[in-house]
Structure 1
Amino acid sequence: MSSKGLPSMSPLAGKDRAVVQLLLDAGTCPRCVLRFCSVGSQLLYRHPLQDLMKDLQEFLKNSQEKEDTVCLDVADPPCKRLRLEHKEEGAAELNHNGAIPQLPSAGNTALQSSAGRVCNVCLGILQEFCEPDFVKKVCQKVNSADYQFTSFVFSVSLPPQLSVRERAAWLGVKQQMRNLGLPLAKDDIVQLKEAYKWIIHPQLSEELGVPADGKSLFEVSVVFAHPETDEECHFLATACPDCFKPAKNKQSVFTRMAVIKALERIKEEDFLKYFPCPPSSPKNLCDALDIQCNNGAVFVAGRYNKYSRNLPQTPWIIDGERKLESSVEELISEHLMAEFKADSFNFSSSGREDVDVRTLGNGRPFAMELVNPRRIHFTAEEMKRLQQAINDSSDKIQVRDLQLVTREAIGRMKEGEEEKTKTYSALIWTDRAIQREDIAFLDDIKELRLEQKTPLRVLHRRPLAVRCRLIHSMRCEYIDQHHFRLRLRSQAGTYPGLARQGWLGTGSGLGQDGWRPESSGARPWNLGVIAKGPAASSELAQEKEREWERG
């Protein structure tokens, strides 16, 4: 045997002969044979299939020659092989016909029986789908998608019936090892996915020019299916019905996890009643249904100013009808989506403003998650140009401090949202004449607790609920007998514009019973907010301004 043969590269020993012979006779490919013999040499799996088959055949031949020599030289006790055959006569039933397959002598038809056949365990995944032609097909799909990446992680989606076939093969191997007085646990077998990645990782890495990295954000995945054997796991639904329950967005109840769960529950003797051991060889290879690429999300953050009183923060659509033609979210996202070439996005911000409210000062913090972007690398100068493009596209908004951030930074933006405070200023008119002392009591109110229901105007996007909010302090500035300015410092999420008229019967507001002047028996004030932060009622404000001018 050449120096590349099995004995010098793997831990195969005499104890493995029975397993190798059993699997090859059943139509198992050489790489799956190595898996079931617990061979952990990654390099060995990368050898061509033809070479591995020849090495396995030579291993069987050498093992037989050594065994025959022992039989000739030692008359008593009988040779190991004879003892094994005698022991096998009383072994427990294993296969579908109630008999354990006999082991032909080495130099038999093992090579002919396995060569050119689809593996009865991996269904061809460790055969055709490890070849350079398939690797090139995967890389062509990746390159044509035009992603930016510096490493990759490779994932595989296997047909669920593979787990059933693997269990059947394992039961056969376990019985052979038991006949030799050796234990074999399921964990001793090299997993199919692991072996497949050992083989294909170096080829993909060489073809793509970047390393494989389990922590990479760029994922290349292959989805396999095998229609010919789709129904092989259906018997598990009869044996373990609790494991197969319909789920949303699932085309079939026979998912890989459900099948694995059922295989963990079913008893060996029950399994063997339904499924042949070893499994039969299929006629066809697996199908590579899809080759997919996915880049991890990129996060962009900044601050925006809004100068329009007719622009919602997010698209205003109620019952499928768009109320306004654009939004802050859309004005920003159209540029980011185009530059990052993402599939979709998720917009978030630190709070939100009403449609008729401007956002001035330093602006409101916002962030955008760009899902599956093709482009991920941007310099600081490129981000500045992108920011300028957004600002030049509309006079309704402006963006500042646009930058790439981490997912953790987005979480910090949302932290403490409930603890933030906001200050509002409102110019208020009252229909009855007032003096300074009539409104002085408002200055003494601290930590006023409000139980505000969701306003009708936002019920289309928020559930109906009662939310507790605090007005921390109020300060009044007397102007004349019918006007005063009220400044509120409130908890974020308070609706100060509703404080003067109440919440449509859900709580007291200015002008209701809870807001009478100190004098006994006085009627409630009829108040009107002339201007609040931004004006809450432009018609009322204009009317009051005309009165002042006449006045």
Structure 2
Amino acid sequence: MAQHDSKEVIDGNEETQLTSDHMDNDLLKRIRDAVGAVPVNVVKDFWSMGVCAQCIFRLLGLHELICSHPSLSNSKLRTILGEVRVGGDGLDSSGKQEGLTAHELTTETSICKICLGVLQFVFFNDNNTFMKKDSASEFASEIAELVRQQQYQQIGSFSLEVSLPPLVNKNDRAIWFYMQKKYEYELWFQEKAAFQCFSIKDVLKLLVIKPLQTLLDLKHMESTFHIRLTYLDSLMKLNAESSIENKRRKTDAAYSLVVDIHKVEGEAFTGTSLKSQEDSFVYVNDMIEKVIQPCHLTLQCFRNSIYIGGRYLKYSRNVSQTRWVIDDERVGEASVEEILGKSILPFCRGEGYKFHAAGREDIDVRMLGTGRPFLVEIQNARQIPSEGVIKDVEVKINSMEYQHVKVKNLVVVSNQAWAMMREGEAEKQKQYSALVWISRDINNEDLQTLSSVKDMKIVQKTPIRVLHRRSPLERGKTIHWMKLERLLGSSQYFLLHLCTQAGTYIKEFVHGDLGRTHPSIGSILGCRAEILQLDVTDVKVDCF
């Protein structure tokens, strides 16, 4: 079809309507000219299939024109397409009178059969309320308001993420095959649409990012702060709600919603794969006949985890490192994990926490000396505590009534500290002090024997006490040095000070674990040896 001059296509009243929002006249002319270069029958074809105006522009390779001006309303786009569909004289390409009214030109009667309303900015929100926005700018305003309500602080940028139902992607693939088959030899398709047809997800991002940057006064880039738009079709929404409900019965994880939505998305209906263009024609015909419901949209904001690091000291022999429950019965008075996590979390306004440490001690083992390096990972923190706030947290923990746990060197660290700590846990040295009993009197030869040990190699099979939860392996470890300290008034008790490779089972090294650790203190001294108390006195890891 020949290009129409914009003055021939619309009268003065329509021009006033199209530019009422102070739109750029040059932009509108370029949009009309670009659409006018496409054969009428192509626009009519898409329109008759129930394809929305935004998807038509996208499929025609004209997305840059609409994405460059996010305030351009849906009704204006429909009007421009209506002009092309009717033609300047009110006739279609066959000379028949179309008879479209002004209302028909500016009103969409259904949800887009391809994008399910995503690019029409039509959706159900979390309250199952039907929502409709007339432009990308209006939609971005809705997103920005929801983001502000979350009250995140110290945010310098954002990353926009979009998740669409598999059904939308399948529809898009089908219509692309359909276009290839039907229009591959037409000049307009070869010149533009074949190379410039963007996906629904990409066009949505292009439409929304620019106004979001302005509204939030943030730059869009790779960021630790994420705005995620998750669209679910009706079936996925139903399955997601069922899955999330089951999950909540089992766990209070902060990110159960994100995890389950992804799980449902991965398991969602995929249908017969579109392996050929012929398949796409059948699929498109079926798609046209379907009753389409808008997607359900969930907006989530989340910040990458932040980490608070330091060293902890544990003075109680009845406090575990992590929460310990057996048969619904709690073991121990408390845990280091809970004492530290619950103290730090409120200052970060996070949704949850995870506790990480460079190794672990048994519940009946104290952590003394320099303390054990640890990290508290705060999930989705609304704010990052300042240095002054961190000092207040440290004082709060160290002033607790029962004094089970204390901390030092508390600081906000990067996620690289996690890798450093894990490396230290596996490779560094640790020092211990153990109260040991032997079945005979201690003599000077014993002192000399133990003190002469330098980098002694031992072999340890998985201890009997942990076989129920650890693989039955044989591990080589190194005892770097030992020193025996006699106790006044006792001939069979002594303090054993030793430095070992990380991961050495100290209790088993003392008593031998029925021969599963060799050599042991018992085998070296030629008698029975038992460990009564154990303290960790130093964890040599270069962090915190």
- TM-score, scaled to structure 2: 0.74
Which of the numbers 38, 45, 50 marks the counterpart of 1:22? 45
| 1:117 and 2:126 matched | no
The aligned counterpart of 1:50 is 75
- 1:228–1:451 CA distance, 2 compared to 1 (3 A): closer
For residues 37-64 of structure 1, the C-alpha deviation after alignment (integer angstroms, 9 at most, x for no partner) is: 1122322564112222232344467799
Q: Distance in 2 between matches of 1:463 and 1:228?
A: 43
For residues 176-231 of structure 1, the C-alpha deviation after alignment (integer angstroms, 9 at most, x for no partner) is: 43242554886631211122222233444444x33251323332333333439999
1:367 deviates by 0.4
1:362 deviates by 2.6
Q: Distance in 2 between matches of 1:63 and 1:229?
A: 44
1:34 deviates by 1.0
The aligned counterpart of 2:430 is 422
Q: Distance in 2 between matches of 1:229 and 1:328?
A: 40
Q: Distance in 1 between matches of 2:472 and 2:99?
A: 75
Contact 1:299–1:405 (8 Å) recurs in 2: yes
**The residue matched to 1:399 in structure 2 has which SS?**
strand
The aligned counterpart of 1:37 is 60
Counterpart code for 1:361: G
Contact 2:157–2:219 (8 Å) recurs in 1: yes
Q: Distance in 1 between matches of 2:100 and 2:296?
A: 28
**The residue matched to 2:288 in structure 1 has which SS?**
coil
Unaligned runs of at least 5 residues, structure 1 = 69-101, 232-246, 517-523, 536-551
1:368 deviates by 0.9
- Computing the radius of gyration from Cα coordinates, the structure with the larger value is 1
Counterpart code for 2:76: D
**The residue matched to 2:411 in structure 1 has which SS?**
strand
Which of the numbers 11, 22, 30 marks the counterpart of 1:8? 30
The aligned counterpart of 1:192 is 200
The aligned counterpart of 1:314 is 322
Q: Percent identity?
A: 28
- 1:338–1:446 CA distance, 2 compared to 1 (3 A): same
1:474 deviates by 3.5
- 1:248–1:450 CA distance, 2 compared to 1 (3 A): farther
- 1:110–1:162 CA distance, 2 compared to 1 (3 A): farther
Counterpart code for 1:255: A
Counterpart code for 2:37: G
- TM-score, scaled to structure 1: 0.73
1:253 deviates by 6.4
- 1:490–1:32 CA distance, 2 compared to 1 (3 A): same
1:505 deviates by 4.0
The aligned counterpart of 1:299 is 307
| 1:267 and 2:280 matched | no
Counterpart code for 2:30: S
Q: Distance in 2 between matches of 1:162 and 1:504?
A: 64
Count residues in correspondence.
470
Matches within 5 A, 1:135-534: 135-148=140-153, 149-180=155-186, 183=190, 188-207=196-215, 209-227=216-234, 250-251=263-264, 255=268, 263=273, 266-273=275-282, 275-277=283-285, 279-280=287-288, 283-374=291-382, 376-394=383-401, 395-426=403-434, 428-433=436-441, 435-437=443-445, 440-458=448-466, 462-476=470-484, 486-508=496-518, 510=520, 514-515=523-524, 524-529=526-531, 533=535
Counterpart code for 2:307: F
**The residue matched to 1:276 in structure 2 has which SS?**
helix
Contact 2:78–2:105 (8 Å) recurs in 1: no
Q: Distance in 2 between matches of 1:341 and 1:52?
A: 44
Contact 1:19–1:173 (8 Å) recurs in 2: no
Counterpart code for 2:502: A
For residues 293-334 of structure 1, the C-alpha deviation after alignment (integer angstroms, 9 at most, x for no partner) is: 222211111111222222111112223321113111111111
**The residue matched to 1:8 in structure 2 has which SS?**
helix
Q: Distance in 2 between matches of 1:384 and 1:107?
A: 78
